[in-house]
Structure 1
Amino acid sequence: MNDSPHEAAFPPAFPFTALHGQPLLQTALLIATVDPLIGGVLVEGPRGTAKSTAARALAALLPGGRFVNLPLSASEERLVGSLDLEAALQDGQVRFHPGLLARAHEGVLYVDEVNLLADGLVDLLLDVCASGVNRIERDGISHAHPARITLVGTMNAEEGELRPQLLDRFGLFVRLGDTLPPAGREAIVRARLAFDADPAAFAARLEPAQRALAARIAAARTTLPAVDFDDASHQRVAALCHAAAVEGVRADLVMLRAARAHAALDGRTRIEDGDIDAVAELVLAHRRKTDEPPHDTPQAQPQPRSDAAPPPADDAEWGALPPQAVPIQAVKNVRPLHAKKY
């Protein structure tokens, strides 16, 4: 899918249409590519679940095929770029040295183990992705450039969590399972072995499907502004987010945008219930707070334990007996229990 003159120097990326066993991840990535302002995709899962493979495969579907990897050691200057202050003072011209955000424009920016990245960089990264513009200011000199980026962040929960404030700012969330059914495992392994044996031949066989999907993404991007947010969609989204007890309205905004992108991918200019249902869990999975009741409903009272004595009442229920005192007998010859060590 790349038209780069250096394409022949590198093997092709694993085709997106050959991915197996992760339909929810594929849906999330395609939606985020159609509308990068959704805020990217956060993927949680163990190693070996094709997170990076899927991100690279997605980049290959885009016109420039840009895939940029953000290392955990990256500095803010390397991420956003830098301004040559001395040249600006001497020549009066702003000279900008592009960073990774500029390189990833109209492509995929991949952050492996984003939960280990400095919070300040994550915050900055999400700001740029939500606005589509990267702004650099230094000593009164500023520069801005477009940065429409499909952000894909991955994490393994065993290695640390993201702060809730940052977690909420990721548009979509996919949690990959630890295990796959035998048929799924077999399909994945067969495809991978065939690709490794002859990447070029494997990619050539799937080229028609790849081109069709790339054209579908391009058409969806063109159709996107024509898809309206009607009253029924607003009401359905508001009800789903209220039921999930999410904080704020970011979930509502992301769900509407994601449903619109889903409809555009299907070639429609009207959001249907199926579009909302298809993206709801992607939006709510990392924001849901169902253990906390909505603020406008009364707090549920704790239920008494079944073995607890009933509370005293002025008017006892018919047939109820007052609590009876039970004598406590000493228990002898009981050996102490020790906690088992693991």
Structure 2
Amino acid sequence: MNKIENQARPVFPFTAIIGQEEMKLALILNVVDPKIGGVMIMGDRGTGKSTTIRAIADLLPEIEVVSDDMFNSHISDYDLMSDFVKQQIKEGSDLSTQFIKVPMIDLPLGATEDRLCGTIDIEKALSEGIKTFEPGLLAKANRGILYVDEVNLLDDHLVDILLDSAASGWNTVEREGISIRHPSRFVLVGSGNPEEGELRPQLLDRFGMHAEIRTVKDPSLRVQIVEQRTKFDQDPYSCIKEFKEKQDLLKETIVLAQRKLPMVKMDYDLKVKISQICGILNVDGLRGDIVTNRAAKAYVAYQNKSEVEIQDIKKVITLCLRHRLRKDPLDTIDCGTKVNQIVNEILS
């Protein structure tokens, strides 16, 4: 049995997914630069949201972690290390490492705060003076992807915790005066169906990007998607084999983009134009400006270029701004269309 067939559950190849380019681009850019702040994917049921998210996680190259560390700590990046690992390095301990697949953690709708954040064994701490921590999903998601399906139905309190961890990169658990903190840097991906309710605007604003997906209307394209899926369900391993070359190429492109990202330059005039667009659209705060700058640079790195041009900004700006516009119930045009109109005026 070969390596592919050893996997517990075959994952649909990312490069085999037909259509939904906006969602795929948003996910790739967040992988290139996790500081973009995650992506909210809103769309109809049965449009392949979960399939695409699992596929991007499966595509990513393995990461090096400190062995037997419950937080997937990095061996040399201080921001991605647990306090325990930092202490061991300070003491000059020799740490062993291993390579693991990028963690892909699902947050179930019925999850409790303890399940998300982890728990401290108070009894053991008081009787034996030992801090014993049972890690939650935020610990397991460090350096990976945290996926929340139907995020618009998740308890607001849990959404707040999620967004705070995603923004700060740390999770702190406090019980009876005992406190434990650990790194929690992950790409936050939420998905939902707009018919089941919207997210609060202040929470929506915390997602870096917002991709909208619709059911494909073109009959021939629908047939193509159905045939591709049927082929995978009948023989997943030959389908994975068929797309291996494309998968490897995309994986290589993402790794190169991650390396190239720090060298990408953006002209001051273009930064001014981005802020001008945000101002005209009445985008609250500066998060829209920051995310658009980051996303444009990530897109340029992904294209293996070194300088941001107008067309690069046009490619990403709607994804970064459409969910930050104030909703007017009397508006007849969609937020994305409104962003496009202003973008075409300013970036002509």
TM-score, normalisation: structure 2: 0.77
Cα distance in 1 between the residues matched to 2:282 and 2:250: 36
Q: 1:36 aligns with which of 34, 37, 44?
A: 34
- The letter of the residue matching 2:28 is L
Contact 1:40 1:171 in 2 (8 A): yes
Aligned counterpart, 1:152: 189
Q: 1:11 aligns with which of 4, 9, 12?
A: 9
Q: Alpha carbons of 1:225 and 1:9: their partners in 2 closer, same or farther (altered >3 Å)? A: closer
**Given the alignment of the two structures, is residue 59 of structure 1 paired with residue 35 of structure 2, yes or no?**
no
Higher CA-based Rg: 1
- The letter of the residue matching 2:126 is L
Unaligned runs of 5+ in 1: 293-342
Cα distance in 1 between the residues matched to 2:164 and 2:238: 41
Aligned counterpart, 2:287: 250
Q: 2:212 aligns with which of 175, 185, 195?
A: 175
Give the CA deviation at 1:61.
1.4
SS of the residue aligned with 2:59? coil
**Given the alignment of the two structures, is residue 103 of structure 1 paired with residue 140 of structure 2, yes or no?**
yes
TM-score, normalisation: structure 1: 0.79
**Given the alignment of the two structures, is residue 113 of structure 1 paired with residue 119 of structure 2, yes or no?**
no
SS of the residue aligned with 2:189? strand
Deviation per CA, 1:212-266: give whole Å up to 9, x if none: 2112222222222333454123112102212222111111111111112111212
Cα distance in 2 between the residues matched to 1:160 and 1:290: 14
Aligned counterpart, 2:80: none
Aligned counterpart, 2:46: 48
- The letter of the residue matching 1:78 is R
Aligned counterpart, 2:343: none
**Given the alignment of the two structures, is residue 80 of structure 1 paired with residue 114 of structure 2, yes or no?**
no
SS of the residue aligned with 2:172? strand
Give the structure with the higher percent strand.
Answer: 2
Q: Alpha carbons of 1:88 and 1:242: their partners in 2 closer, same or farther (altered >3 Å)? A: same
Give the structure with the higher percent helix.
Answer: 2
**Given the alignment of the two structures, is residue 240 of structure 1 paired with residue 240 of structure 2, yes or no?**
no
Contact 2:166 2:184 in 1 (8 A): yes
Unaligned runs of 5+ in 2: 63-100, 330-348
Q: In the comparison of the two structures, how many residue pairs are matched?
A: 288
Aligned counterpart, 1:334: none
Contact 2:32 2:257 in 1 (8 A): yes
Give the CA deviation at 1:59.
0.6
SS of the residue aligned with 1:286? helix
Aligned counterpart, 1:192: 229
Contact 1:134 1:146 in 2 (8 A): yes
Q: Alpha carbons of 1:33 and 1:288: their partners in 2 closer, same or farther (altered >3 Å)? A: same
Cα distance in 1 between the residues matched to 2:116 and 2:222: 37
Give the CA deviation at 1:91.
3.9
Cα distance in 1 between the residues matched to 2:105 and 2:166: 14
Give the CA deviation at 1:9.
4.8
Q: Which moved more, 1:54-63 or 1:32-41?
A: 32-41
Aligned counterpart, 1:25: 23
Structure 1 runs of 4+ off > 4 angstroms? none
**Given the alignment of the two structures, is residue 130 of structure 1 paired with residue 167 of structure 2, yes or no?**
yes
Cα distance in 2 between the residues matched to 1:131 and 1:36: 12
Cα distance in 1 between the residues matched to 2:123 and 2:256: 45
Give the CA deviation at 1:290.
8.3
Cα RMSD (Å): 2.1
Deviation per CA, 1:296-335: give whole Å up to 9, x if none: xxxxxxxxxxxxxxxxxxxxxxxxxxxxxxxxxxxxxxxx
Deviation per CA, 1:114-167: give whole Å up to 9, x if none: 000011111111111122222222333322222221211111111111111111
